[in-house]
Amino acid sequence: MRRYVVLAAVVLGVLAIGAGAISAMAATSVSVTAGKPSELRFKLSKSTVTHGTVTFTIKNSGTLAHDFKIAGKRTKLLKRGKSTTLTVTLKKGTYTYICTVPGHSTGGMKGKLTVR
């Protein structure tokens, strides 16, 4: 009987470790709104994420076309009301994100994302 209790405890421990490893490998999701609260601004759902795979879901809520660039990767140009995703792998550090449409980043369409 004692052997079964020890075996059950070991199995539960292995399952708990496996579940933790799976959640650590899961991608972090960040929602990005372009063109809100004003036309030349981004609003991110998170300003700090954990290192690893990050999926950005970008929606253009402005009236002008916008894109989103971070860590050397960029979305296509999004017209008003359109959405897309961008998945990147990020190491610990600080990353600048911008809209690459001429004049948009200098107008304020940029920011920093902290990766821990």
Q: Smallest Cα–Cα separation from 11: which of 33, 71, 3, 94?
A: 3
Give the CATH number of the domain where residue 64 resides: 2.60.40.420
pLDDT at 50: 97
DSSP strand pairing (93-98 vs 110-115):
antiparallel
* Within a domain: 39: yes
Residue 111: give the domain boundaries.
Answer: 27-115
pTM over 0.75: yes
The whole-angstrom separation of Cα 8 and Cα 63 is: 59
Residue corresponding to tokens 């959405």:
83
91 domain residue, yes or no? yes
pLDDT of residue 27: 82
Q: Is residue 49 part of a domain?
A: yes
Per-residue confidence of the chain (116 residues) as pLDDT tens digits?
555 544 444 444 444 444 444 444 578 999 999 998 999 999 999 999 999 999 999 999 999 999 999 999 999 999 999 999 999 999 999 999 999 999 999 999 999 999 99
Is residue 14 in some structural domain? no
Whether residue 56 lies inside any domain: the answer is yes
In a domain, 32, yes or no: yes
Number of domains in the chain: 1
